[in-house]
């Protein structure tokens, strides 16, 4: 069916550098309101789109948390049937976590949720914010030949790149090209035109009503290995109160020390019901537990492979699965499934 109306898009403004201004006394950037942001993008009127907005109390994304994710998810749910697509303006620092969290929270999503922001505030002459916002809106409005949404997932648009949200990582604190998906191809080639890589885009198996789960369990943490970590440190971390799930960030193809005490500490934590999922500290590639003895020992102790998941996807997947109220065994089973394109199995 061909679409007969102007694309209807909803911008959800959560904060981030894109809308910040300089504090006159300290010269530090601080969040500012949406009208300032939009006044700096006069070109937006040239788009033949119907655009509305929702403005949150703008924050630096270092302050984003499951409450904020819930607010974004509920805003999308409450407006889902009234809009063709959603653009979330967000700080870059935790954008990949928000993108990953939303991808799990927005069950059966089949409309575009495009997250963007900028490295320079929109009021600055060399800002990247204007182009990012305009391109994000165009992507959110794009349709296939039959009028269905081109993007049916949570994606990050940054500079000239469109990445799957739960495959993305912030790579640079300085470059306009700030995000990358190291284990998954670009969803579009953006140059003079926008050419979608249709084979890379997520397609839900069936169209079902949006099912939003905002209950994210905070009882999770990262343990980042480094050579020489004492047993007492590992023991302390693994015994952190109220922790149900741990993302263990290991070396290379998922390797960790083979010392008896190390494996014993891990095995004990697992026997207490803690779920441990292994992701690599490498920026590219994934965990292959059986490639080396060291990975093999972790697998034998009951550590779950995170395969090629990003750290951001792994930690938010744990939050989501425990938030569903699943038992540790059920969480382990679901970790081994691809929920919304976050992992290659």
| Helix ranges, the chain (H) | 34-39, 66-79, 95-105, 129-141, 231-238, 260-271, 293-301, 311-323, 328-335
Give yes or no for residue 169 binding ligand ASP (CB under 6 A).
no
Alpha carbon distance 199, 105 (integer Å): 24
Place of tokens 């703008």: 58
Q: Looking at 14-22, 77-85, 105-113, 126-134, which segment touches ligand ASP (CB under 6 A)?
A: 14-22
Which of 2, 4, 14, 17 is flagged as catalytic? 17
Give yes or no for residue 119 binding ligand ASP (CB under 6 A).
yes
Half-sphere exposure of 304 (CA within 13 A, CB side): 25
Give yes or no for residue 68 binding ligand ASP (CB under 6 A).
no
C-beta closer to ligand ASP: residue 12 or 256: 12
C-beta closer to ligand ASP: residue 114 or 238: 114
Give yes or no for residue 341 binding ligand ASP (CB under 6 A).
no
Beta partners for residue 164, in sequence order: 155
CB of 83 to ligand ASP, least distance (A): 24
| Residue showing the smallest CB distance to ligand ASP in the complex | 91
Give yes or no for residue 311 binding ligand ASP (CB under 6 A).
no
Under a CB-based contact definition with an 8 Å cutoff, are residues 129 and 137 in contact?
no
Q: Looking at 15-23, 180-188, 249-257, 309-317, which segment touches ligand ASP (CB under 6 A)?
A: 15-23
Alpha carbon distance 57, 52 (integer Å): 17
C-beta closer to ligand ASP: residue 178 or 314: 178
Alpha carbon distance 271, 301 (integer Å): 9
Give yes or no for residue 16 binding ligand ASP (CB under 6 A).
yes
Give yes or no for residue 116 binding ligand ASP (CB under 6 A).
no
Alpha carbon distance 274, 195 (integer Å): 44
Pick the binder of ligand ASP from 11, 40, 61, 86 (CB under 6 A). 61
Query: Computed from CA positions of residues 214, 202, 317, 93, in that sequence, does the dihedral angle turn out positive or negative?
Result: negative
Place of tokens 């984003």: 64
Alpha carbon distance 85, 335 (integer Å): 29
17 catalytic per annotation: yes
C-beta closer to ligand ASP: residue 122 or 256: 122
CB of 92 to ligand ASP, least distance (A): 3
C-beta closer to ligand ASP: residue 16 or 112: 16
79-108 positions binding ligand ASP, by CB under 6 A: 91-93
Under a CB-based contact definition with an 8 Å cutoff, are residues 114 and 95 in contact?
no
CA angle 339, 184, 134 (to 5 degrees): 95
Residue 135 DSSP SS3 = helix
C-beta closer to ligand ASP: residue 120 or 282: 120
Alpha carbon distance 11, 2 (integer Å): 24
Give yes or no for residue 60 binding ligand ASP (CB under 6 A).
yes
CB of 20 to ligand ASP, least distance (A): 7
Give yes or no for residue 135 binding ligand ASP (CB under 6 A).
no
Q: Looking at 48-56, 58-66, 138-146, 206-214, which segment touches ligand ASP (CB under 6 A)?
A: 58-66
Active-site residue set? 17
Interface residues with ligand ASP (CB under 6 A)? 15-17, 60-62, 91-93, 117, 119
């Amino acid at each position: 069916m061909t679409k007969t109306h102007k694309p209807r898009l909803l911008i959800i403004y959560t904060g981030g550098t894109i809308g910040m201004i300089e504090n006159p006394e300290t010269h530090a950037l601080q969040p500012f309101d949406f009208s300032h942001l939009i006044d700096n993008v006069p070109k937006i009127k040239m788009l033949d789109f119907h655009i509305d907005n929702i403005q949150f109390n703008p924050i630096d994304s270092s302050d984003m948390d499951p409450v904020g994710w819930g607010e974004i998810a509920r805003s999308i749910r409450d407006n889902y049937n009234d809009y063709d697509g959603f653009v979330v303006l967000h700080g870059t620092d935790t954008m990949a976590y928000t993108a990953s969290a939303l991808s799990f929270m927005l069950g059966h999503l089949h409309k575009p949720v495009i997250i963007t922001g900028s490295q320079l505030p929109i009021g600055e002459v060399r800002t990247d914010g204007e182009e990012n916002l305009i391109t994000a809106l165009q992507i959110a409005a794009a349709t296939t030949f039959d009028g269905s949404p081109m993007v049916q997932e949570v994606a990050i648009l940054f500079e000239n790149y469109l990445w799957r949200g739960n495959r993305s990582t912030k790579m640079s604190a300085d470059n306009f090209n700030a995000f990358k998906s190291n284990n998954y191809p670009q969803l579009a080639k953006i140059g003079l035109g926008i050419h979608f890589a249709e084979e890379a885009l997520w397609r839900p198996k069936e169209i079902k009503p949006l099912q939003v789960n905002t209950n994210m369990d905070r009882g999770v943490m990262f343990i980042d290995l480094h050579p020489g970590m004492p047993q007492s440190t590992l023991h302390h971390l693994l015994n952190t109160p109220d922790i149900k799930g741990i993302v263990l960030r290991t070396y290379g193809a998922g390797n960790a020390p083979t010392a008896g005490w190390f494996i014993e500490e891990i095995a004990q934590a697992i026997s207490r019901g803690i779920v441990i999922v292994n992701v690599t500290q490498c920026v590219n590639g994934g965990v292959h537990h059986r490639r080396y003895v060291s990975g093999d020992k972790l697998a034998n102790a009951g550590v779950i492979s995170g395969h090629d998941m990003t750290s951001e996807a792994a930690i938010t997947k744990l939050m989501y699965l425990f938030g569903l109220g699943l038992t540790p065994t059920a969480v382990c089973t679901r970790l081994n499934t691809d929920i919304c394109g976050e992992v290659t199995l």
